[in-house]
Amino acid sequence: MNIAVCVKQVVTRDWPLRVNESAEWVRDYDASFEMNEPDAYALEEALRLKEQHGGEVVVCVAGPPRVTQVIREALARGADRAIHVKHEQLAFADANVVASSLAIAMLPEQFDLVLTGLQSDDQGFGQTGVILAERLGLPHATIVMEVDAGGVNGIRVKRELEGGWFQWVSMPTPALLTIQSGINQLRYATLKGIMAAKRKEVRSVEPEELQPAGQHIVRLYVPEKEKATRFIEGSPEAASRALVRLLCEEARVL
């Protein structure tokens, strides 16, 4: 079973975020980076499926040269090789641009499964995997909590629904799955894996131009704190009715 895993590099969660000069993204030139957590669970699930059914795991990453950090980390954890779609603007591009760029690099490959994390820790749109499935022409399932690849004609996946409900879905392969965090227990890279990662293949793809962006961040800012006091006058009956209305319609706590 040949599996592709799409991984994103994001700013470390405990890093003190600061808005950049254009107020369109965070100041990341001096930031610390890590692997996107939902993508780490997708990688772990791919490695477990490989251990059960054989094949290879290929890590696909879009971003500037600095994303080689997460590529090497993924290879050290057990991935066999990597595809790096290299472009500076992919560090903050929207889901359509990232998915389209990944699809172009992945189309020549013959993958049985494509796994992505449910969403990224920075933008959190949860759309890259879905758009990538459309670009690759694959059926897809989202919010996957379990993967059963032991069938002859396809796979069965367990999806998380609202209100504590779950759903089992049978799918043909090849297919794309977006993996929910917590699906498994993450492994750490061993010293042997770190040394082996240096010898594994990383194929670099440099697109001449990117797809037009479907959306654009107009302004990014820290939530502004403000305080306001309102006095309600009138009789006790009228004041109580006005208070309940304000709590329901404006404060939205009732």
The verdict on residue 234 lying in a domain is no
Q: In the numeric block, which tokens belong to residue 134?
A: 């459309």
60, 7 contact by CB (below 8 A): yes
Instruction: Let me know if residue 214 belongs to a domain.
Output: no
Considering the chain, what is the average pLDDT of its residues? 90
User: Quick one: pLDDT at residue 220?
Assistant: 82
Per residue in 102-137, pLDDT (tens digit) is: 999 999 998 999 999 999 988 888 999 999 999 999
pLDDT tops 80 at residue 28: no
pLDDT, residue 6, reads 96
Q: Judge whether 250 lies within some domain.
A: no
Residues 34-44 as b/e (b if ≥16 CB within 10 A, e otherwise) read bbbbbbbbbbb
* Three-state secondary-structure class, residue 238: helix
Distance CA 130, CA 213 (A): 16
Quote the domain boundaries for residue 174.
2-205
Residue 159: pLDDT band (50, 70, 90) is very high
Residue 248 lies in a domain: no
Q: Residue 150's pLDDT is what?
A: 80
> pTM value?
0.83
Domain count, the chain: 1
Query: What are the contacts of 46-54 at 24+ separation with CB within 8 A?
Result: 46/3, 46/5, 46/79, 46/113, 46/115, 47/77, 47/78, 47/79, 47/187, 48/184, 49/1, 49/3, 49/113, 49/147, 49/149, 50/1, 50/3, 50/78, 52/149, 52/150, 53/1, 53/149, 54/1
- Please check the confidence at residue 219 and state whether its pLDDT lies above 80: yes
Residues 14-34: what's their mean pLDDT? 81
DSSP 224: P
CATH of residue 61:
3.40.50.620
81-86 average pLDDT score = 95
In-domain check, residue 212: no
For range 211-227, the mean pLDDT: 80
Q: What percent of the chain has pLDDT over 70?
A: 100
Q: Is the pLDDT of residue 172 over 90?
A: yes
Please, which pLDDT band fits residue 13 given cuts at 50, 70 and 90?
Answer: confident
Residue 243 lies in a domain: no
- For residue 50, being part of any structural domain is answered with yes
Q: How confident is the model at residue 198 (pLDDT cuts 50, 70, 90)?
A: very high
Amino acid identity for residue 78 in this structure:
G
Show the DSSP H helices in 88-159 as ranges: 95-106, 128-136
Instruction: Give residue-wise pLDDT tens across range 225-234.
Output: 777 788 888 8
Residue 215 domain-assigned? no
pLDDT at residue 22 in the model: 80
Whether 151 shows a pLDDT value over 80: the answer reads: no
